[in-house]
Structure 1
Amino acid sequence: MASKSEIMGLKFTPTTHHAPYPAIDVKPGSLPSPFNVCIAGASRDIGANIAYSFAIAGATAIGICAPPAEIDVSPIPSKLQELNPSTRLIYLPCDVTLPSEVEEFSSKIRNALGHIDVLVYNAGYFGPWETRTASTPHDFTTAMSVNCTGLYLFTHFMLPLLQKSAYGAGAVVSICSTGMHATGGPGTNTAYGISKLAQCRFIEMLAATEPDTFTAAVNPGNVKTAMGKVIPQELFNALPDDPRLCGSFLVWLVRERRMWLSGRYLSSNWDVDELMSKEAEVVEHNKLKMRMVW
């Protein structure tokens, strides 16, 4: 029987990391110019650090949406000004589950920037800690709406802006979770896991239908976040990963066109040099995609 580590791909590269390291350290000016980034769902924690990484790397503009109450208390505007005063920030409210609001947000980004080069879908809903089926129908439908439908809506309305990118047809990255691999055991969250698995399949299908657009579903690591505080305290305290890890990994991932990785599940914890050494293996056996075991 496969171990939990094997099922979740935790050791796909023999070396793993819990914080940024030299190969993915974000260097000022490492992105081409102009370079516009859009992050759906960022006000703190992982989303904020994704924005910080792209700002340090020299993003021309960063468009972000979040709930109004979160925007009001977010450290992002002041921190971006400190990290890179030349990066333009467009920070707008948006309900990621409503087509009309996502369309309006996309229209404002189009009018302000003309195009985007990377769309990062980071909006997420975990819900209460659970061990079997979703605690309430509301939790299940909310998780599916935020984690899955929202990804579709942003891709649908942002794809024309991505296709105007000077660097291929842009990139769509969905922030997923190792929770998508779990089917039981303590703490298995049915709604969250299913919705994250759907994200991964959507990324695969998008790669097939829009082959010029780079796509990836990226595990950000096990990070202490406000959303994760519903888990037992001892487990929360043991989460080992730096919130900067995912942002550093994403900048590395999209600053060059690595199309052999498109449409695949990736983890911020994996060592990128060892991942690159596996190109022939990944391509030949079509690894890092969801398949039925026959």
Structure 2
Amino acid sequence: MNYTKTQHTKPYAAISPSLPHLSTASKSVFVVGGSAGIGKAAAIAFLEAGCRRLALTGRREAVLSAAVAELKEKFPDAEVVTYAADVADEKGMEAAFSKAKDAFGGPLDIVINGAGAVPPLKPVATGDLNAWWSGFETNVKGAAIAARATAKYGAADAVHLYLGMAGMLFPANGAFPMSGYAASKLAAVKVMEYFGAENPGLRVVSVHPGIVTETEGGKKMVEESGMDWPGDDINLSAHFLVWAASKEAEFLKNKFVFAAWDVDELKARKDEIAQSPELIIGLNGFPRSV
């Protein structure tokens, strides 16, 4: 699914967090699902970009504590606050966002929702329906909860980045029964599209991070599918998120993009992208003149 001629699998110079124009030194950043996986990698990337006001949430207190200890060791001058909360727990997330805003003395500038659930890869007809539905609880309801919190506790021009997935765009494959994951992610990206349209002051972007097999979800996909997946470097997505939150990426407002796409090629088409319906979910081949 190429949109740019160059497709990346590893970090590269144009999205390096060390670039001055990508600096987040003046920004407060909130990472939902930041205790592990891509969320944690993103937290590190934003700290490398200069962020010194960072909030993380995670479901597991022990994992969250270990993550913050690691971050504080690497970045001792950063203020890192954590809150144990499930993204689908509205009261817990509300409290976390509220406390982060108070801790940082003002509204949040950048929110990354990296929380996600991969339900068992089972057919709709025979799989456990409650397990299947768990994907919607986390990936759709959780996305809405995080979005509502951004609208309430974020700055008027806050950036909200949601981690989607490319599999939602592929035709269904009976040999790879991932309806719970693909359908919930598809729904969530559409929710993000509405969220952005309803809150035009915010910049909402959905990002496919690539196939990151070293995360828990990635390992689960590999194990349950029995397929040999080519993995992308976790820092490709982390660094891309830093770039996507920058002013340089303002033209991606309300779009769905891949971390693998080359940002220089995207920038060369920024007017076309910003002023067209490209990179939003639609129906292929429709409408058609008949």
Q: TM-score, normalised by structure 2?
A: 0.89
Contact 1:228 1:236 in 2 (8 A): no
Q: Work out the percentage of aligned pairs sharing the same amino acid.
A: 23
The change in CA–CA distance for 1:134 and 1:260 in structure 2 (over 3 A counts) is farther
Q: Tell me the equivalent position of 1:240.
A: 231
- In 2, the alpha carbon distance for the partners of 1:156 and 1:127 equals 24
1:268 equivalent in alignment to 2:256:
no
- 4+ residue segments displaced more than 6 Å: none
The change in CA–CA distance for 1:188 and 1:279 in structure 2 (over 3 A counts) is farther
Q: Which moved more, 1:226-235 or 1:149-158?
A: 226-235
Matches within 5 A, 1:91-170: 91-113=82-104, 114-132=106-124, 135-163=127-155, 169-170=157-158
Q: Displacement of 1:122 after TM fit?
A: 0.8
Q: Tell me the equivalent position of 2:42.
A: 50
Amino acid paired to 1:201: K
Unmatched segments (≥5 aa) in structure 1? 1-9
How many residue pairs get matched?
280
What is the DSSP-based 3-state SS (H/G/I as helix, E as strand, rest coil) of the residue aligned with 2:195? Answer: helix
The change in CA–CA distance for 1:229 and 1:32 in structure 2 (over 3 A counts) is closer
Q: Displacement of 1:267 after TM fit?
A: 0.6
Q: Displacement of 1:16 after TM fit?
A: 0.5
The change in CA–CA distance for 1:219 and 1:84 in structure 2 (over 3 A counts) is same
Which residue among 72, 77, 87 is the counterpart of 2:68? 77
1:215 equivalent in alignment to 2:204:
yes
What is the DSSP-based 3-state SS (H/G/I as helix, E as strand, rest coil) of the residue aligned with 1:92? Answer: strand
Alignment RMSD = 2.1
Q: Displacement of 1:235 after TM fit?
A: 5.7
Q: Tell me the equivalent position of 1:192.
A: 181
Q: TM-score, normalised by structure 1?
A: 0.88
- In 2, the alpha carbon distance for the partners of 1:72 and 1:275 equals 35
1:287 equivalent in alignment to 2:278:
yes
What is the DSSP-based 3-state SS (H/G/I as helix, E as strand, rest coil) of the residue aligned with 2:247? Answer: coil
Unmatched segments (≥5 aa) in structure 2? none
Amino acid paired to 2:162: S
The change in CA–CA distance for 1:286 and 1:151 in structure 2 (over 3 A counts) is same
Contact 2:120 2:132 in 1 (8 A): no
Q: Displacement of 1:184 after TM fit?
A: 1.2
The change in CA–CA distance for 1:25 and 1:259 in structure 2 (over 3 A counts) is closer
